[in-house]
Amino acid sequence: MFGKKKQKPQIDQEQFALIENAQRRVKQKKGLYIHFVIFLIGAVFLILANTVLGIGKDEKILGLDWFVIAISAWLFFFFYHAFNVFITNKFMGKEWEKAQIEKLVAKQQDKIEILKTTLARPNDSLKITTVKPHKNLTMIVAAGENNEIGKDNDLIWHLRDDLKRFKALTSGHHIIMGRKTFESFPKPLPNRTHVVISRQKDYRVPEGVLVVNSIEDAIDAASSDNQPFIIGGGEIYKQAMPFASKIELTRVHSTFSADTFFPEINMNEWKETDSKVHDNDEQHNHAFSFMTYERK
């Protein structure tokens, strides 16, 4: 009366796809093996046809016996078949397709972030621009294993050598930050030009500190600098990611309770180019690694 209960599939879609792919590969390799056996039998048959049965004994093509030409052409066709199974399939197969799709999705996500930023500025006319990474814009950040970067508008750790490195890299340059990060400093950092991003039109800052109303304006304000830095926090890292060409990440090898996070680094768009481990010691409660990522 109530009909049959619908059977639930036992394995999920991803497993199905993997099985299908494995079956397809087995079929392709089996086909290649059968081709090889037929080729061997065919080649013997062609040789016998000419030498024993005398078929086309006097036929020559380019000075060669016809069966030599026929076997060579077949061998070429066999290699082409093997090339398709092992090489073309690798480049144009399912894994390759998946990587291409992931790349496209990541690009679309970056574009959506930029559109969200544009829409969040109600006084601006809606202008949609294509995001081009700035050639030397570097994001510098220290993040825990789960991308934790801060809590209650403060850092979660004190790592002397990381602060030293931050100072060495950023000194003499423009440092771009969100209003909240700026307010987490007791006073502006020496020997650096602060560019603070805020939506407030009358945000007051000490002399020498620049205030802008968007990421794009912050990057413009730092255009005289050949190496500007994005120094946080969470909101700004997320929005600035599509503009950056480099990430200097201090990966702190612990997990923390946090309320602010660094966005996930999409490895389809970034490649790791350097990594140095720093063990924990009496000055440093946590081990950490200095990692450099560059846009692919």
Ligand X SMILES: NC(=O)c1ccc[n+]([C@@H]2O[C@H](COP(=O)([O-])OP(=O)(O)OC[C@H]3O[C@@H](n4cnc5c(N)ncnc54)[C@H](OP(=O)(O)O)[C@@H]3O)[C@@H](O)[C@H]2O)c1
Helix axes 13-51, 66-83, angle to 10 degrees: 170
- Reading the block at residue 93, the tokens are 């197969």
153 binds ligand X (CB under 6 A): yes
260 binds ligand X (CB under 6 A): yes
User: Three-state DSSP class for 122?
Assistant: coil
Give the residue, chosen from 50, 173, 174, 234, that forms a contact with ligand X under the rule CB under 6 A. Answer: 234
Using CA atoms, how far apart are residues 214 and 204, in angstroms rounded to an integer?
16
Site string for ligand X, 58-97 (x = CB under 6 A): ----------------------------------------
Using CA atoms, how far apart are residues 236 and 248, in angstroms rounded to an integer?
15
DSSP 133: -
Looking only at residues 192 through 211 of this chain, which bind ligand X when binding is defined by CB under 6 A? 197-200, 203
Using CA atoms, how far apart are residues 199 and 181, in angstroms rounded to an integer?
14
CB nearer to ligand X: pick between 70 and 176: 176
Site string for ligand X, 92-131 (x = CB under 6 A): -------------------------x--x-----------
φ, ψ for residue 110 (rounded to 5)? -60, -45
142 binds ligand X (CB under 6 A): yes
Residue 203 makes CB contacts below 8 A (sequence gap 6+) with 179, 196, 211
Least distance to ligand X, CB of residue 22, Å: 44
180 binds ligand X (CB under 6 A): yes
- Interface with ligand X (CB under 6 A): 117, 120, 141-142, 149-151, 153-155, 177-181, 184, 197-200, 203, 213-215, 231-236, 239, 260
